[in-house]
Structure 1
Amino acid sequence: MLTIDEFANCLKSYLSTEQVNLVRRAYYFAEQAHDGQTRRSGEPYVTHPLEVASILADMHMDHASLMAAMLHDVIEDTGIEKKAIQAQFGEVVANLVDGVSKLTHIQFENKTLAQAENFQKMALAMARDIRVILVKLADRLHNMRTLGVLRADKRSRIAKETLDIYVPIANRLGMHTLRIELEDLGFSAMYPMRSRLIHRAVQRARGNQKNLLCQLQKAIAARLEDEGLNGRVVGREKHLYSIYQKMRNQRKSFSEIMDMFAFRIIVDSIDGCYRALGISHNLYKPIPGRFKDYIAIPKANGYQSLHTTLFGLHGVPIEIQIRTQEMEDMANNGIAAHWLYKNDDEALSGSHARTRQWLKGVLEMQRNAGSSLEFIENVKIDLFPDEIYVFSPKGHIFQLPKGATAVDFAYAIHTDVGNACVACRIDKRLASLSQPLQSGQTIEIVTAAGARPNVSWLNFVITGKARSNIRLLLKNQQHSESIALGQRLLNNALMSFNASLGSIAQQTIEQRIAQLEVESMEALLEEIGLGKRMAYVTARLFADPYTGAEQKSRLESPQPEAPLSIQGTEGMVISFARCCYPIPGDPVVGRVSSGRGIVIHTDSCNNIADIRYNPEKILEVVWDKDVRGEFTVGLQVELEPQRGMIALIATSVTDMEGNIESINLEAKDASCSQVQLLVSVRDRLHLATVIKRLRRIKGIHSITRLREA
């Protein structure tokens, strides 16, 4: 068991005597505070903070972090308050301890919500001082090392949380060594049998491959020496969890994964890295497409290295990573490695700009998210990046997750660019906004004043920043559109009582709002617009204060409610049913759908037959004479199966200024096929011209409009 004297001696290698004494003071303070407390293993509780500080000392963390590690459970587990710690050790240490204490678990009935809330708190703590999360990661690592004393179900729960939350954060901060240990400990706690089996298989495989491994290592080292390059070659071992993940995700057998050797070449300079790459490629043939330069373009977590794969002895693949010692330290300890090369202030300011940039984005997502679950969904995308690198027209490099689209790229540039995006050019050619980007492409975003995000973008955007900003804007858009529609519906309904919102006294409005138990008139209008409240019932209540005999008779036998005029530009609160595809010119009715607003159906649609004359669910609507927009309609075309028919149909629709949304071909028999089209048109007249043009195509037997789909 580690003692404070042994620990203090280790610290002398990189901290001043004064700083070591401050860490000692923090230890004795914690020892006194935790006096009488023991861990589940029966050891004095103070052994835990000492071990946590030791983990951070291995990374050469600053003395403030080590003091916070010693004191991290004092606020939570003893009666000592933050101000007492501040009086003893200063504001920086007190804030770090308080930050770590706030990351302790809150009890929620819903485990998913608990995890999301904890994650959200962690992100905010990281943004204030990155050292908070480093102390928390070290705390979690020591807890994982001593997990054996807990019940199996508790071990499994803690291991899952570690793999779901702490491992991705460690990875995002570039802390490779800590991440690997957390992964392997989490793996063995969650799947003890699988872990043991893979461990045994690895031991056997390494024993069999030992000779070949030594030969390869000596061959590479000898070639570096011959070329006068000062460098060392070390073998890289695959850890258990990564082997398990590759077997599961890539559906590979154990022998396929282990039949590959991995080495790391560590040299003195960046120039030496590229020289070592050339020497390696001269020694063994490189495998095409397996070279990556993370020195010129570092990973998002600051990782730098050259990666290449070679055909080694007997055709065995060899994976090689080439880097400098500073890159090696950065790869192993990530953000914590900055304290090796910088003083405290420098390490906290300029040295980890990438991490700061990421944390800034996390904070923006946190502000925009509607809930902690939505927030964690967005951030987790950014925590598991399989990265691509694309360029702006000015040559700036942007890192995005694999599968990202031009919309993701637009939001990566700036939120305002994403919100105003209308089109894109990929390598100077116009392309679809939903097209997945590839590394090396140059992306140009076309924007337009007054443009706004489309709800369909949520179907293809990948990054958390894009997703959270689109949702926020759509939420605000729906809010304003719901209020506008609610006002129209209420005024429409009030007309049947010969009243309007403008004619009702403000005092009466306030009384009715209180009676309906809503916060404001705006909230009431929004509920009406979203279909959560009936406009007619609300109008009757608002019209009730008119007490004259004439008004009373009107209330008892009100005029029929005027139909609502549909303009086609109402936005998200008025939608068009996908069962009957109504278009301007069709007789239509509106179905009031709670939370969605009004869904427009054709008058004869079977899906509303049961409620067609229910005034609480059906609203009379008409098309406005100036209706604008494009509307989807379904067509069924029966034709002879001939080469090029689909192309002819598509060309004909486009020539008539229509747009095909989807096309589905089904063979009925050898002489007849059936094509179902979804076409965007302006109105019934436009549809008639499209159908007329299609009828001219030789081989088409019939065209009918789909009324049910």
Structure 2
Amino acid sequence: MMRQFELVERVTRYNPDVDENILNKAYVYAMKAHGNQTRASGDPYFTHPLEVAAILTDLKVDTSTIVAALLHDVIEDTSVTREEVERLFGHDIAELVAGLTKLKKLDLVVKEAAQAENLRKLLLAIVSDIRVLLVKLADRLHNMRTLHYVKPEKRQRIAEETNDIYAPLAGRMGMQAMREELEDLAFKTLSPEKHQLIVERLEALRHKLDHMGVSRVGNGDFVATIEREIEATLRNKAIDARVSGRQKAPYSIHRKTERKAIEFEQLSDIYGFRVVVETVEDCYRALGALHTAYSVVPGRIKDYISTPKSNDYRSIHTTVIGPGGQRIEMQIRTKDMNLIAEYGIAAHALYKDGSFVARDEQGHVRLSAESRAYEWLRRTVERLAVGSSPEEFLEHTKLELFHDQVFCLTPKGALIPLPRGATAIDFAYAVHTDVGNQCVGCKINGSLSTLTSKLSNGDEVEIIRSKAQVPPAAWENIAVTGKARYEIRRATRTAVRNQYAGFGRLILQGAFARAGKEFADDKLEAVLKRLARASVEDVLAAVGRNEMKDIDVIKAVYPDWRDERAGVKQPLRRKADSEGWILGRARSGIMFRLAGGKAKNGVALPIRGLKSDLPIRFSPNGGALPGDRIVGILMPDEGIVIYPIHAAALKAFEDQPERWLDVQWNLDADQDMRFPARLELTTINEPGSLAQVTQVIAENDGNIDNLKMSRRSPESTDIAIEIEVWDLKHLNAIIAQLKTKKTISRVRRISE
């Protein structure tokens, strides 16, 4: 266990003005607070916060962060209170410890929905003080280093969570060394056989290359040989450089071979060499010198100095053919760039008398303005307020965390960073949400292209827009970025909601008119609490979806109103007449016989509430199904037409209440009758998409009567299908199955 003076010495190396007294005080206080507590390994529990503090000294963080690391478990795991910590160590440290205590309580190792909500809380906590994240990552790193002491089932869950959340979050914050170690430790737990295989192959390659080093310079270390060669090459060009080599981590090798579907031997960056120089000019001079000395691998030059990554990373990457034909990657950067590459957001911490100087108006500790990684974090947290579900937020955040970028240009020269594999749709949403929602086409490097085209580094993309456009739901399956997927999903939800709200408005306008009452939005606004809705639009949409009855809305607005038609809303008082028919009352007030109606062709229809001597039929376009709420409309020359209550055609009869009949289904248990329904689908133009549609309908015992296809755009096709089903439940099952198919972006029932 690290001794008290050793911790002070570690901090003093990078911060000579450290307050040694507060470090010593925190060391002793935490050690006493944890007392005889032990970890799963059997070690004293205090070794954990001590190791977390040691990890943070490598990141060169401020004294308050080191103290918070020592104390980060005392409130949660001991009898210590927040008030006591504030009294002894001050408000700043108490806030940090309290923030870390909340995060400890989150326990992200849970089911996905809960994990998503907890991730929200995690990001909200760390955005208020970025030092919370530094301690949390160091805490996770030490727990991963000692994971082998934990029970196997819990070990698996912690490793998955580390790989899903903490490792990519460290990478997104620019802390690459910590990311690599977290990934590798998780990989070793989740796939021990694959990890061991890669380790063995790396060891074999190392032995092979070391033998080459012996024959060249009498030294058995291949990496050391190359380091000296590069330094000598640059020294001959009067470039002062520090060169260090490293071997790619097993998990990084596994991920790259899986992603690119290549063999171990095909990797070009198993060995990488970092070249650190003084100035930006020296970076480009060193690039020229190395390209002169070694054969260059075409297409492997990446300039992240002129176009930095979104986590602030800056460097020039190039791949060359080294000794023995081995490909090696060179990373050329200045000392300042190397600091950012090693420590990420921690490198932006500015010190003055042992504390951060970058704070906002509320006193929250921020990073310096140059930190683009922190800007990403802030933007991500801003999206927490827009009302997405926890699962959607988790999906979006994971997509943003796993980020391998390409850089594209707008026609005006603005640089847009995107994940590799992004399409023109992603580009449009990266520019602005409105640009994405309105895009109908694009030009890539001056040529018309499809919106599904994948973008490459340096592409100039011009988006063609139309205000009449609504983004198809199919785009969600095409988009790569979390932002694009989220905005597409939100736009399609909004469009559907607006349709329901419009329908609900029509229903209420007619209902209020029949009741002889005034309908107005301000009257609905006044009774929102009574209707348990947040807005007028919510009320309208609920009525449109048939989640709220129009009569309930009228009663909420006009509490004293009494429905004169209440008889049809309540269970009917029934009696049999001389012929055995049951009598009831229609909406118009006419007495009618409750009996099975007869269609024009003489087939009995399972409807109650119709005059038996009138012919009846279903509306021709997407008629009603058992399970729908239905109404009958008296037609002078046709008898009675049955409509589902949500049919748009009913609008034409709103001012003719005398023609409306309240009717109900009268199905026997052994009823053997199918009913017509219409569906409208939008599919992605891929081979087999129509086959998937027909297969789903067939497998679910549906019968296709008619089918019509029309090309909506180069990417999608609209399909109108007339099918026969048993009832509404049967139709909904088919719709649910269709929605699971990736090639089907939209499915809706049509009732005209």
CA deviation after TM superposition for structure 1 residue 305, in Å: 1.3
1:288 and 1:560 map into 2 onto residues whose CA distance is: 86
In structure 1, the residue corresponding to 2:104 is in which secondary structure? coil
Tell me, yes or no, if the aligned pair for 1:531 and 1:593 is still in contact at 8 Å: no
Per-residue Cα deviation, 1:252-294 (whole angstroms, up to 9, x for no partner)? 4444448954322222222111111111111122111111111
**Alignment match, 1:278:** 288
Shift of the 592–231 alpha-carbon distance from structure 1 to 2, 3 Å rule, reads farther
Residue 451 of structure 2 corresponds to residue 436 of structure 1: no
Measured in 2, the distance between the counterparts of 1:316 and 1:396 equals 38
2:418 corresponding residue in structure 1: 400
Q: 1:620 to 1:266 in 2, by over 3 A?
A: closer
Q: Secondary structure of 1:350's match?
A: coil
- 2:366 and 2:6 map into 1 onto residues whose CA distance is 28
Question: Percent identity over the alignment?
Answer: 36
CA contact (8 A) 1:426 1:441 kept: yes
Task: Pick one of 293, 299, 304 that aligns with 2:309.
Answer: 299
Partner Cα separation in structure 2 for residue 109 and residue 282 of structure 1:
52
The answer for the alignment partner of 2:101 in structure 1 is 101
CA offset digits 1:177-219 (Å, max 9, x no partner) = 1111111211222223333333233223212211432554443
Aligned to 2:386: 368
Q: Which residue of 1 aligns with 2:544?
A: 529
SS in 2 for 1:103: helix
Aligned residue for 1:32? Answer: 32
Tell me what 2:478 maps to.
Answer: 460
Name the aligned partner's letter for residue 102 of structure 1. K
Q: CA 1:232 to 1:592, structure 2 compared with 1: closer, same or farther past 3 Å?
A: farther
2:256 to 222, 239, 246: 246
* 2:80 match: 80
What is the distance in 1 between the residues matched to 2:245 and 2:519?
Answer: 84
1:624-703 matches, cutoff 5 A: 678-679=709-710
Q: Which amino acid aligns with 2:356?
A: D
Counterparts of 2:188 and 2:511, CA distance in 1: 66
Residue 416 of structure 2: SS of its match in structure 1?
Answer: strand
- Counterpart for residue 325 of structure 2: 315
Aligned to 2:149: 149
Q: Does 1:557 align with 2:586?
A: yes
Q: Displacement of 1:153 after TM fit?
A: 1.3
Instruction: Decide which moves more: 294-303 or 245-254.
Output: 245-254
Aligned to 2:621: 588
Match of 1:45, SS state, is coil
**Matched residue type, 1:558:** R
SS state at 2:357 partner: helix
Look up the SS of the partner of 2:417 in the other structure: strand
| 1:661–1:677 contact (8 Å) kept in structure 2 | no
Conserved 8 A contact 1:406-1:433? yes
Amino acid at match of 1:304: R
Q: Which amino acid aligns with 1:679?
A: S
Q: Does the Cα contact within 8 Å between 2:384 and 2:393 map onto a contact in 1?
A: yes
- How far apart, in 2, do the equivalents of 1:114 and 1:550 lie? 46
Given that 2:506 and 2:651 are in contact with CA atoms closer than 8 Å, whether structure 1 keeps it comes out as: no
State the match for 1:206 in structure 2. Answer: 206
Change (3 A) 1:94 1:451: farther
Shift of 1:587: 4.3
> Equivalents in 2 of 1:405, 1:622: separation in Å?
43
Structure 1 residue 613, shift from structure 2 partner: 8.5
* CA displacement at 1:149 relative to structure 2: 1.6
Equivalent residue of 1:439, what SS? coil
Q: What do the CA deviations read for 1:163-183 (whole angstroms, capped 9, x no partner)?
A: 111000011011111111111
**What is the alpha-carbon distance in structure 1 between the residues aligned to residue 134 and residue 105 of structure 2?**
17
Q: Superposed, which structure 2 residues align to 1:485-524 within 5 Å?
A: 485-492=503-510, 498-499=514-515, 502=518, 523-524=538-539
Question: Distance between the aligned counterparts of 1:38 and 1:109, measured in 2?
Answer: 21
Q: Which residue of 2 aligns with 1:6?
A: 6
Please state whether the residue corresponding to 1:236 is helix, strand or coil. Answer: strand
Equivalent in the alignment of 1:638:
none
Structure 2 residue matching 1:60: 3-state secondary structure: coil
Amino acid at match of 1:239: A
Between the aligned partners of 2:529 and 2:249, the Cα distance in structure 1 is: 64
Distance 1:555 1:537, change over 3 A: farther
Deviations 1:526-546 (A, max 9, x none): 223124457699999999632
The offset of 1:522, in angstroms, is 5.8
Deviation of 1:329 after TM superposition, in Å, equals: 2.4
Amino acid at match of 2:395: E
SS in structure 2 of the partner of residue 459 of structure 1: helix
**How far apart, CA to CA, are the structure 2 residues paired with 1:236 and 1:252?**
21
**Greater Cα shift, 434-443 or 149-158:** 434-443
**CA shift for structure 1 position 374:** 0.7
Tell me the residue number matched to 1:702: none
Judge conservation of contact 1:232–1:266 (CA < 8 Å) in 2: yes
Distance in structure 2 (CA, Å) of the matches to 1:39 and 1:49? 11
CA distance in 1, matches of 2:552, 2:133: 55
Q: Which has the higher helix share?
A: 1
Displacement after TM superposition at 1:160 (Å): 0.9
Question: Greater CA deviation, 25-34 or 366-375?
Answer: 25-34
Q: 1:110 to 1:182 in 2, by over 3 A?
A: closer
CA deviation after TM superposition for structure 1 residue 71, in Å:
1.3
| AA aligned opposite 1:499 | A
* Helix, strand or coil at the partner of 1:393: coil
**Structure 2: 5+ residue runs without aligned partners?**
213-221, 359-364, 573-582, 591-618, 630-639, 654-677, 690-706, 713-749
* Structure 1 residue 525: Cα displacement: 3.6
TM alignment of 1:94-173, pairs within 5 A: 94-106=94-106, 111-173=111-173
Asked whether the equivalents of residues 660 and 679 of structure 1 are also in contact (C-alpha less than 8 Å), the reply is no
Give the structure-1-normalised TM-score. Answer: 0.74
Tell me the CA shift for residue 440 of structure 1: 1.0
Amino acid at match of 1:621: A
Aligned ranges for residues 213-224 of structure 1 at < 5 Å? 213=222, 214-224=224-234
In 1, are the aligned partners of 2:623 and 2:644 still within 8 Å (CA)? no
Give the structure 1 partner of residue 91 of structure 2: 91
Structure 2: distance between partners of 1:224 and 1:513: 75
Q: For the structure 1 residues 260 and 93, does the alpha-carbon distance in structure 2 shift closer, same or farther, using more than 3 Å as the test? A: closer
How far apart are the structure 2 equivalents of 1:614 and 1:109?
A: 54
Superposed displacement of residue 77, structure 1: 1.6
Deviates more, 1:91-100 or 1:58-67: 91-100
> Could you tell me whether the CA contact under 8 Å between 2:30 and 2:46 is conserved in 1?
yes
Bigger shift: residues 418-427 or 155-164: 418-427
Normalised to the residue count of structure 2, the TM-score between the two structures is 0.70
Aligned to 2:564: 546
- Report if the CA contact (8 A) 2:64-2:92 is conserved: yes
- How big is each residue's C-alpha offset from its partner over 1:675-709, in whole Å with a ceiling of 9 and x where there is no partner? x983269xxxxxxxxxxxxxxxxxxxxxxxxxx9x
Q: 1:112, CA displacement in angstroms? A: 1.1
Matches within 5 A, 1:339-488: 339=349, 344-346=356-358, 348-419=366-437, 421=439, 423-446=441-464, 453-488=471-506
The 8 Å contact of residues 420 and 447 in structure 1, kept in 2 or not, is answered as yes
Which amino acid counterpart does residue 166 of structure 1 have in structure 2?
A: Y
Match of 1:337 in 2: 347
The 2-side partners of 1:37 and 1:663 are apart by 61
Contact 1:633-1:679 within 8 A present in 2 as well: no
Instruction: Work out whether residues 592 and 617 of structure 1, in 8 Å CA contact, stay in contact via their aligned partners in 2.
Output: no
Offset, 1:302 = 1.1
For the residues of structure 2 that align with 1:323 and 1:509, how far apart are their CA atoms? Answer: 61
Give the superposed CA RMSD: 4.5
